[in-house]
């Protein structure tokens, strides 16, 4: 098979500057890397071809020779078999940030992947560069969000293998350091503080846990968006917490002291005589704390009058008696229709 032109392989023009060649190489390497295409022989072959082309074109001297002599010579430098492993410097082309560098995290506490994020170090030719900020989402239980707590994240940060420079090989052999993948994965467990009163959709900044910096630059920050798991009983509306409290007919009629569950525990509360079904009551300061203002909201509970289902003669008498006590027909204010 005829060897393809190196410029053609990288999809650049003969006059392309070094930066453009590097860029084209990174793009192709990312696409064709064996790690991304496991078992794909075609991709592997193309990857090698790209690698070989880049090994030559990134080197000023080799490029000049190639421009002059093409694949044919001079000497064995551009013999395909030699070129595959013939340049000890091959693979150092990833100036700083690796094309394989990616970043993700999953929640450690729950076993499921709640978040998935990618950030890449900014590319440049020289000098230290700060890593990019990264963003992700985490699921937080209602209790931890309202009362404050911690969440555990497992950060997975991929970086270029320092031994093979991201090429996945040393000479003709797969790199022993990274097993030929060209990248190394670091797993780091991070605990983040969930402030008391954290609302659904809130963002928490975790300094220094974004993408890695390049050439000595600091890491970016990680911004975690909080998704609060709904609670089966309590419902949050701003800083107020709502719940429904069932009461008996007698409690509604005579008034009563009842136990009302709040996020801060059970509170004894009084309902007045003649309490109506679906009437709402407010317990001041028993809601959620607003993390910005420091103010605490209220607990608002709605009573639900429970009617006994058991039918007995005594129950019938009691309900008949109750019926005689309304001062007006209960539906007198209803409209007749539209």
In angstroms, rounded to a whole number, what is the distance separating the alpha carbons of residues 259 and 266?
Answer: 6
Q: H-helix or E-strand containing 6?
A: helix 6-10
Least separation in angstroms between CB 40 and Zn ion: 20
Least separation in angstroms between CB 90 and Zn ion: 13
Least separation in angstroms between CB 35 and Zn ion: 11
Nearer to Zn ion, 9 or 175 (CB): 175
| Binding-residue total with Zn ion (CB under 5 A) | 6
Could you give the 3-state DSSP secondary structure of residue 331? Answer: coil
The yes or no reply on residue 29 touching Zn ion (CB under 5 A) is no
Contact of 189 with 42, CB cutoff 8 Å:
no
Nearer to Zn ion, 163 or 264 (CB): 163
The yes or no reply on residue 178 touching Zn ion (CB under 5 A) is yes
- Nearest residue to 193 via CA among 202, 180, 185: 202
User: HSE on the CB side for 78, CA within 13 Å?
Assistant: 23
Q: Report cis status (omega within 30 of 0) of the bond before 74.
A: yes
List alpha helices for the chain, DSSP H: 6-10, 18-32, 41-57, 60-69, 80-85, 142-147, 249-254, 313-323
The yes or no reply on residue 175 touching Zn ion (CB under 5 A) is yes
Among 3, 23, 46, 163, binds Zn ion (CB under 5 A): 163
Nearer to Zn ion, 165 or 210 (CB): 165
The yes or no reply on residue 161 touching Zn ion (CB under 5 A) is yes
- Where does this chain touch Zn ion (CB under 5 A) — which range of 23-31, 64-72, 175-183, 293-301? 175-183
User: HSE on the CB side for 123, CA within 13 Å?
Assistant: 14
Among 59, 109, 177, 239, binds Zn ion (CB under 5 A): 177
Residues that bind Zn ion (CB under 5 A): 161, 163-164, 175, 177-178
């Amino acid at each position: 098979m005829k060897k393809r032109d190196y410029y053609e392989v990288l999809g650049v023009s003969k006059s392309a500057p070094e930066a453009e060649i590097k860029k084209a190489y990174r793009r192709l390497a990312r696409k064709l890397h064996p790690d991304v295409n496991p078992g794909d022989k075609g991709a592997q072959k193309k990857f090698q071809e790209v690698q070989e082309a880049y090994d030559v074109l990134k080197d000023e001297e080799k490029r000049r020779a190639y421009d002059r002599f093409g694949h044919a010579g001079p000497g064995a430098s551009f013999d395909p078999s030699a070129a595959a492993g013939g340049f000890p410097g091959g693979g150092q082309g990833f100036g700083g940030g690796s094309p394989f560098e990616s970043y993700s995290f999953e929640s450690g506490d729950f076993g499921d992947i709640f978040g998935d994020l990618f950030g890449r170090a900014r590319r440049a030719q020289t000098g230290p560069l700060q890593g990019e900020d990264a963003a992700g989402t985490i699921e937080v239980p209602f209790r931890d969000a309202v009362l404050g707590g911690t969440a555990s994240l497992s950060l997975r940060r991929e970086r270029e293998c320092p031994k093979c420079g991201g090429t996945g090989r040393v000479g003709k052999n797969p790199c022993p350091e990274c097993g030929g993948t060209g990248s190394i994965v670091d797993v780091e467990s991070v605990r983040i503080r969930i402030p008391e009163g954290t609302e659904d959709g809130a963002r928490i900044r975790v300094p220094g846990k974004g993408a890695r910096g390049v050439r000595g630059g600091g890491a970016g920050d990680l911004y975690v968006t909080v998704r609060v798991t709904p609670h089966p009983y309590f419902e949050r509306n701003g800083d107020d917490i709502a719940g429904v409290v069932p009461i008996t007919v007698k409690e509604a009629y005579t008034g009563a002291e009842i136990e009302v569950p709040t996020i801060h525990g059970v509170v004894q509360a009084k309902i007045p005589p003649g309490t109506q079904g679906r009437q709402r009551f407010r317990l001041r300061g028993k809601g959620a704390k607003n993390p910005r203002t420091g103010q605490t909201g209220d607990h608002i509970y709605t009573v639900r009058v429970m009617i006994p289902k058991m039918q007995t003669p005594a129950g019938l008498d009691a309900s008949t008696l109750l019926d005689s006590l309304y001062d007006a027909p209960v539906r007198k204010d209803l409209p007749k229709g539209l």
